[in-house]
Amino acid sequence: VPGSLPVLLGDAVTLAETHGPDGRDLADALRGSSARRGRETAIKIGFLLAALTSVLISFFIIETLLAEAISFLSDIDLGELFGFAWAPRRGLFDIRTLLMGSLLVALIAMVVATPLGLGAAVYLSEYASPQTRRTLKPVLEVLASIPSVVLGFFALRFLSPNVVEHLADWIAFPRLAPGDSTAEQLSLSAVVVLLLVIPFTRVVLRTLGESGRRFAGPATVALVLVAAVLFVLSVASGGGNGSEAFNLAAAGFGVGVLIIPLIASVAEDAMRAVPRSLREAAYGLGARPMTVSLQIVFPAAISGIVAALLLAVSRAIGETLVVAVAAGGSGATLYTTDLTEPGTTITAAIASLAFGSDQVAGDDSAFQSLYFLGLLLFVITFLLNILGDVFVRRTRQTY
């Protein structure tokens, strides 16, 4: 650190040395005894070695995953990676089954956790008094400290029969495939309107300038109404057929509960980092709290909020125990996009390969597929985390 005291001391020593014999005595006194300097160096090296442990851990993780995954890929026919089921002991290694499972669970989790987490973040950052914050924030911290296996049990024994089954009875969960029943097609259209048509319409209207922008609000309201009508029609035309005891939706809800605190805390940090002056300027112009939250603080903190969501997706994809307990994936799982059926994810497939009744031991390719899945998971979460980090850093740079 330039200009700090140790550097200044070093400069003083150099300066003293150039000033004859007296100066050299002073330099020795300033430098301290050689025993003392030796101890300092030894301690510094000790700390450096400790710091290198984490690098060593990363190295071993990558070495383990790469070596075993490559040996797995060279053992099997690469065409086997695209089949119709994940059943490693029968030589069926369809990774689409696992990727779809992870995607669905993460999707459900985000649908549950995004509104709850962001809502909590906005409230804690913009509305709560310091006193309220002190009492409400521990709620989120306690929620964050619940072990994931506990949430797995909760998802399987409580959410699945009491929430998912009724919900699945009532509405037909849309699948990422053309639905069989009218109810399913209707609910799928509703979701398409909500998630695709509305954002697309808003973007298009905004590019049309002032006249288009004026229509954005009414158009959104109208489209939300259309989606609502589609949902009502879907429910009226029979709804869904309930769900099985183990299902992907329950696992998704469980993971959702797990990531609420994560989203809330990262997003809240981002919003609190927005300078007061921005808020005060808005209030000075007569804005109300809701306008300040939604149109000043939220856009200003958008990088941090996106980062929160990315980290949450990464966490949802990496979550093992909730899915292993509640989704019902076993050693052999068929490809499915149906949320009400049992399914499996990358993590749950690792789990069922490595422990429980389906444990496979030995050096066959079924066992090595474990490390291939680990590598897949590592790469996906790594990319999401890096992307999240980029967004986090952008918030810091702005202010």
Partner 1 sequence: VTATAPPQDRPKTIAPSVVSRSIESHGSDVKGAIFQGLLLSTLVISLAILVVLVIYVLQGSWSVVTERPGDFLTANLDTDPAKAGVAQGIRGSLTIAMITALLAFPLGIATAVYLEEYASDGLVVRFITLNVRNLAGVPSVVFGLLGLNLFVNTLGDDLNPTSFLGRGGRALLVVLGIAVVLSVVAVLALVVRTIRSRPRPLRLLATVVLAGAWVWLMLQGSSYLRTTWREYDDGGLTGGRSVVSGGVTIAALVLPIVIITTIEALRAVPKAIREAGFGVGASRWEVTKSLVLPSAAPGILTGAVLSLSRAIGEAAPILLIGASTTFFSSGNQSFAEQLRGGFTALPAVIFGWARLPDEEFEALTAAAIIVILVLTFATNAIAIVLRNRYERTW
Q: By CB under 8 A, what part of segment 84-123 binds partner 1?
A: 115-120, 122-123
C-beta of 68 vs 94, nearer to partner 1: 68
- Shortest Cβ 95–partner 1 spacing (Å): 16
Q: What does the per-residue mask of binding to partner 1 show for 322-351, with x meaning CB under 8 A?
A: --xx---------------------x--xx
Tell me, rounded to whole angstroms, the distance of Cα 349 from its chain centroid. 19
- Shortest Cβ 346–partner 1 spacing (Å): 9
Q: Which candidate, 347, 351, 338, places its Cα nearest to that of 317?
A: 347
C-beta of 339 vs 375, nearer to partner 1: 375
Residues 24-63 that bind partner 1 (CB under 8 A): 32, 36, 39-40, 43-44, 46-48, 50-55, 57-58, 60-61
* Stretch touching partner 1 by CB under 8 A, among 20-28, 195-203, 273-281, 375-383: 375-383
- Shortest Cβ 4–partner 1 spacing (Å): 7
∠ at Cα 148 (144, 153), nearest 5°?
125
Give the single-character DSSP code of 380: H
Q: Does 166 bind partner 1 (CB under 8 A)?
A: no
Helix ranges, the chain (H) = 5-17, 20-31, 34-75, 95-122, 130-144, 148-154, 165-170, 182-192, 198-207, 210-236, 248-272, 276-284, 289-291, 298-300, 302-318, 321-326, 346-354, 365-398
Residues 270-299 that bind partner 1 (CB under 8 A): 286, 288-290, 293-294
Residues 172-211 that bind partner 1 (CB under 8 A): none
C-beta of 202 vs 315, nearer to partner 1: 315
* Stretch touching partner 1 by CB under 8 A, among 13-21, 85-93, 131-139, 196-204: 131-139
C-beta of 79 vs 286, nearer to partner 1: 286
Which of 102, 243, 314, 365 binds partner 1 (CB under 8 A)? It is 314
Distance, CA of 270 to CA of 309 (rounded, Å): 12
- Shortest Cβ 314–partner 1 spacing (Å): 6
Q: E strand or H helix at 93, and its extent?
A: strand 92-93
Within 8 A by CB and 6+ apart from 100, the residues are 176, 335, 336, 337, 343
HSE (CB half, 13 Å, CA atoms) of 32?
Answer: 10
